[in-house]
């Protein structure tokens, strides 16, 4: 017995008392109600990610009014309904009503093209009422259209926002979805409540912190590299500056993570693990992310101001490069990993600038090669996952599974070159000025050689997390390697 027949049988056997309004058409809002996001924001972000230069036109389209703006955006994109985060509780309820042959209407302020695509995907709606190039079907406009079509108290309406009160006051009953207790009480005062479907997961501080990816802040400890290698550990002024620099980069990085998640929404929703990110899952709204990004940047620059002017400049360079990467460079094979490598190295440069110590070209060369190797491990692991899933190309990257041998070759060679740079540094005069026993640095080189080989071996076995830096945090061998390196550096002093 299939799902529909089984559902019909169960409902027939239960034979509950059916309210008078149960046979009335059920009109369902889209944004924030049927889907856990906003289709207009989704459309704009999809347009920006596919055609970044169209960002210039968006403000110009606003002069056309809301309806005209939505029409223009919808003309330039094809929204993928299958990737949208639907409200599973409401969808299940609508499916049950469909089994009762109830007339279902998708009524939304979204553009008609978007509404039709979603209705076609779900295949449960009998009718679609949506905005066109001249009429924005929201609030009082939506109420007027529904009253004209079904009569006052001639329909039931499912909504989620204060603007929906304009519709509920004319409806026979209301289905309140994802709404606050205050809005629910307002709805109760003006109409009968057919059903209340609370938010499946409310936005909370925990969700916001998850979206900010606080765990990724560990990457910004690279800023401490210059402090450690320059032996300024007990310089309170340098330590204070480096801590300010760390938090400045961390808040900036979180703002970029949110921006990346906005640009990569569709790709993340198709990813095995990234689909659980707050924005992709719909547990954090796009509007929340848009508000958080400038707030995080303000905190970033407040901390940067406590360091020095040169540090602010390198922070701006970092933000520009990450934005260019997100909009333009991410899909370009090899150029993407070189950019990521540069972003890691910029953190080390920023640390040196923060405490006013000269940059070591040996350190810069080492960091470029080691981080290029790690970035290639990440791409290698992503492609290994694609092979396991039976796919051939990455959704948002310029790689093919046939690139696996080349990527591993580039990555392993780059990792070993970083070790060679370390070995050559041990015999440089600069090392003699900083270390009394520079020969102990050989143990650092040997340990790094083991670690990079270990990471690549795990990647070939398919045991590597897609982000090797985060993987290292949970890897016992990485902690042992860190301990040996720390001991070697101490003995070299």
What is the H or E stretch that residue 110 is in?
strand 104-111
Among 147, 174, 197, residue at a domain's last position: 197
Q: In angstroms, rounded to a whole number, what is the distance separating the alpha carbons of residues 352 and 247?
A: 15
Same domain, 185 and 257: no
Q: Where in the sequence is the domain holding 68, given as residue range(s)?
A: 3-197
Same domain, 185 and 114: yes
Give the pLDDT of residue 4: 36
178: left (phi over 0), alpha (psi -120 to 50) or beta: left
Burial (0-12, 13-18, 19+ Cβ within 10 Å), 14: exposed
Same domain, 11 and 43: yes
Give the pLDDT of residue 429: 59
Give the pLDDT of residue 159: 96
CATH number of the structural domain spanning residue 53? 3.40.50.1000
* CA geometry: angle 152, 157, 163, nearest 5 deg: 95
CATH number of the structural domain spanning residue 377? 1.10.357.140
Dihedral Cα 198, 203, 204, 208, nearest 10 deg: 160
Q: In angstroms, rounded to a whole number, what is the distance separating the alpha carbons of residues 118 and 44?
A: 17
Residue 31 DSSP label: B
Give the pLDDT of residue 151: 95
Same domain, 282 and 151: no
Give the pLDDT of residue 459: 94
Give the pLDDT of residue 430: 63
Give the pLDDT of residue 44: 94
Q: In angstroms, rounded to a whole number, what is the distance separating the alpha carbons of residues 337 and 329?
A: 9
Token representation of residue 48: 């920006």
Q: The tokens 């041990």 sit on which residue?
A: 426
Same domain, 411 and 483: yes
Same domain, 124 and 213: no
Contacts of 251 (CB under 8 A, 6+ apart): 296, 297, 299, 300, 303
Among 197, 215, 231, residue at a domain's last position: 197
Same domain, 311 and 371: yes
Q: How confident is the prediction along the chain (493 residues), in pLDDT tens digits per residue?
A: 433 344 444 444 444 444 667 789 999 999 999 999 999 999 999 999 888 888 889 999 999 999 999 999 999 998 889 989 999 999 999 999 999 899 999 999 999 999 999 999 999 999 999 999 999 999 999 999 999 999 999 999 999 999 999 999 999 999 999 998 999 999 999 999 999 998 766 778 899 999 999 999 999 999 999 998 888 878 889 999 999 999 999 999 999 999 999 999 988 888 778 889 999 998 999 999 999 999 999 999 999 999 999 999 999 999 999 999 998 998 899 999 999 999 999 999 999 999 999 888 889 999 999 999 999 999 999 899 888 888 877 766 789 999 999 999 999 999 999 999 999 988 875 666 778 888 888 999 999 999 999 999 999 998 887 688 888 888 889 999 999 999 998 898 8
Domain count, the chain: 2
Burial (0-12, 13-18, 19+ Cβ within 10 Å), 181: exposed
Same domain, 119 and 102: yes
Among 177, 197, 217, residue at a domain's last position: 197
């Amino acid at each position: 017995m299939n799902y529909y027949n089984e559902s019909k049988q169960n409902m027939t056997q239960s034979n509950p008392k059916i309210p008078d309004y149960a046979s009335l058409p059920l009109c369902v809002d889209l944004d924030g109600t049927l889907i856990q996001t906003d289709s207009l924001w989704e459309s704009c972000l999809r347009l920006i990610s596919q055609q970044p230069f169209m960002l210039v036109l968006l403000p110009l389209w606003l002069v056309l009014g809301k309806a005209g703006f939505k029409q223009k955006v919808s003309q330039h994109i094809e929204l993928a309904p299958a990737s949208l985060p639907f409200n599973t509780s409401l969808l299940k309820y609508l499916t049950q009503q469909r089994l009762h042959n109830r007339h279902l209407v998708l009524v939304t302020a979204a553009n008609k093209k978007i509404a039709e695509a979603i209705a076609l995907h779900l295949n449960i709606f009998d009718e679609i009422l949506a905005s066109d190039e001249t009429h924005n079907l929201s609030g009082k406009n939506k109420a007027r259209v529904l009253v004209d079509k079904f009569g006052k108290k001639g329909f039931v309406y499912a909504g989620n926002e204060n603007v929906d009160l304009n519709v509920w006051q004319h409806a026979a009953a209301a289905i309140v979805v994802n709404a606050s207790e205050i809005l629910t009480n307002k709805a109760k005062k003006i109409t009968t409540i057919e059903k209340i479907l609370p938010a499946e997961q409310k936005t909370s501080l925990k969700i916001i912190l998850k979206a900010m990816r606080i765990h990724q802040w560990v990457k910004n400890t690279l800023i401490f590299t210059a402090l450690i290698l320059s032996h300024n550990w007990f310089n309170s002024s340098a330590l204070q500056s480096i801590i300010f620099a760390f938090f400045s980069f961390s808040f900036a990085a979180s703002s970029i993570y949110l921006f990346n998640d906005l640009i990569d929404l569709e790709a993340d929703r198709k990813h095995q693990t990234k689909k659980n990110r707050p924005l992709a899952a719909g547990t954090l709204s796009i509007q929340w992310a848009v508000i958080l990004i400038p707030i995080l940047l303000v905190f970033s620059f407040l901390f940067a101001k406590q360091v020095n002017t040169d540090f602010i400049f390198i922070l701006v360079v970092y933000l520009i490069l990450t934005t260019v990467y997100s909009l333009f460079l991410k899909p370009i094979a090899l150029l993407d990993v070189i950019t990521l490598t540069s972003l890691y190295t910029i953190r080390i440069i920023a640390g040196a600038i923060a405490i006013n110590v000269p940059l070591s070209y040996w350190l810069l060369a080492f960091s470029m090669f080691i981080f290029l190797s790690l970035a290639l491990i990440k791409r290698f692991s992503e492609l290994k996952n694609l092979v396991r899933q039976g796919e051939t190309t990455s959704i948002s990257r310029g790689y093919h599974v046939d690139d696996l041998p080349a990527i591993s070759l580039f990555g392993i060679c780059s990792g070993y070159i970083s070790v060679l740079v370390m070995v050559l540094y041990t015999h440089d005069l600069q090392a003699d000025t900083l270390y009394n026993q520079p020969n102990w640095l050989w143990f650092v080189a040997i340990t790094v050689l083991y670690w990079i080989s270990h990471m690549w071996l795990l990647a070939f076995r398919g045991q590597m997390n897609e982000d090797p830096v985060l993987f290292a945090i949970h890897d016992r061998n990485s902690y042992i390697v860190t301990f040996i390196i720390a001991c070697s550096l101490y003995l070299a002093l």
